[in-house]
């Protein structure tokens, strides 16, 4: 099912009762078995409780299954349930390592590479600027060690180590928040191509530097730390 259809349903769900929503959904997918977690409800005013939806399922041909909450052990505080709300909050706070525990994988952001201000290129670190959907959870402003996946969701998918910056270029008095990735040891044109970023670790928060030289120096340190975090070595120069 295309992600744009899912977003349309997310908005439409607020206006439909449970049966209207499920019958509309049936135009796009063949629903045979619906699995839900704790606190599940859908439709206008959340009137589609598991009991209500199960009755609708008998009419239009799908079964229901409820699952218990998944819990993770947290050092010093016992266990806590894994929820999408908690994971989104962790991502938006820059806690990508913690979010990865609940997801069982690093959190990701996908989009198309678009032309940016080319600030990275002038500093010696050309970046791929991602046109990411603002409705998805974007990590907090800062610099991250990540894997940049080219040709995502295809058999040709390949990953490159990357230093990812999320923020508004405070050293240059920027105002627009951007997601941009510097792919280590990569040389190629990515404009117009899909890119998926897998956030592994937050290296530092967003900073404003007193000089361009100070910024460049810190960027060099960030790249070296990315290599350490991801366990990759610098590609040898080809003579």
Within-domain flag for 92: no
Is 46 a residue whose pLDDT tops 60?
yes
Q: What is the pLDDT of residue 77?
A: 66
Domain that includes residue 35, residue range: 9-66
Output the domain CATH number for residue 195.
2.40.30.30
Single pTM value for the model: 0.76
Mapped onto helix, strand or coil, the DSSP state of residue 6 is helix
56-78 mean pLDDT: 84
Q: What is the pLDDT of residue 84?
A: 83
Within-domain flag for 174: yes
- Rounded to the nearest angstrom, the gap between the alpha carbon of residue 57 and the centroid of all alpha carbons in its chain is 32
Within-domain flag for 83: no
Within-domain flag for 20: yes
Residue 96 φ/ψ region, left for φ over 0, alpha for ψ in the -120 to 50 degree band, beta for the rest: alpha
Residues 5-31: tens digit of each pLDDT:
444 555 566 678 899 989 888 888 899
Q: What is the pLDDT of residue 4?
A: 46
Within-domain flag for 235: no
Mean of the per-residue pLDDT values of the chain = 86
Residue labelled with tokens 């928040």: 177
Residues 136-165: tens digit of each pLDDT:
899 999 999 999 999 999 999 999 999 999
How many independent structural domains does the chain possess? 2
Mapped onto helix, strand or coil, the DSSP state of residue 121 is helix
In angstroms, rounded to a whole number, what is the distance separating the alpha carbons of residues 222 and 224? 5
Is residue 118 located within the same domain as residue 209? yes
User: In degrees to the nearest 10, what's the CA dihedral of 129, 131, 135, 140?
Assistant: 0
Is residue 109 located within the same domain as residue 54? no
Is residue 45 located within the same domain as residue 151? no
Within-domain flag for 74: no
Check residues 60 and 75 and name the one with the higher pLDDT: 60
Residues 108-129 as b/e (b if ≥16 CB within 10 A, e otherwise) read bbbbebeebeebbeebebbbbb
| Nearest-5° Cα angle at 195, 116 to 177 | 40
């Amino acid at each position: 099912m295309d992600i744009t259809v899912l977003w349309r349903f997310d908005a439409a769900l607020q206006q439909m009762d449970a049966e209207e929503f499920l019958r509309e959904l049936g135009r796009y997918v063949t629903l045979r078995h619906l699995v839900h977690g704790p606190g599940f409800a859908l439709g206008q005013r959340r009137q589609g409780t598991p009991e209500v939806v199960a009755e609708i399922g008998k009419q239009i041909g799908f079964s229901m299954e409820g699952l218990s909450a998944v819990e993770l052990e947290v050092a010093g505080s016992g266990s806590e349930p894994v929820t999408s709300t908690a994971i989104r909050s962790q991502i938006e706070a820059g806690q990508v390592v913690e979010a990865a525990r609940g997801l069982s994988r690093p959190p990701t952001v996908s989009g198309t590479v678009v032309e940016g201000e080319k600030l990275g290129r002038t500093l010696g670190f050309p970046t791929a600027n991602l046109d990411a959907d603002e409705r998805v959870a974007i990590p907090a402003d800062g610099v991250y060690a990540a894997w940049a996946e080219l040709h995502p969701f295809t058999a040709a998918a390949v990953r490159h180590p990357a230093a990812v910056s999320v923020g508004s270029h405070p050293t240059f008095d920027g105002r627009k928040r951007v997601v941009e990735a510097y792919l280590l040891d990569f040389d190629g044109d990515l404009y117009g191509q899909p890119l998926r970023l897998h956030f592994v670790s937050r290296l530092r928060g967003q900073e404003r530097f007193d000089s361009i030289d100070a910024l460049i120096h810190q960027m060099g340190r960030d790249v070296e730390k990315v290599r350490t975090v991801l366990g990759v070595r610098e590609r040898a120069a080809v003579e």
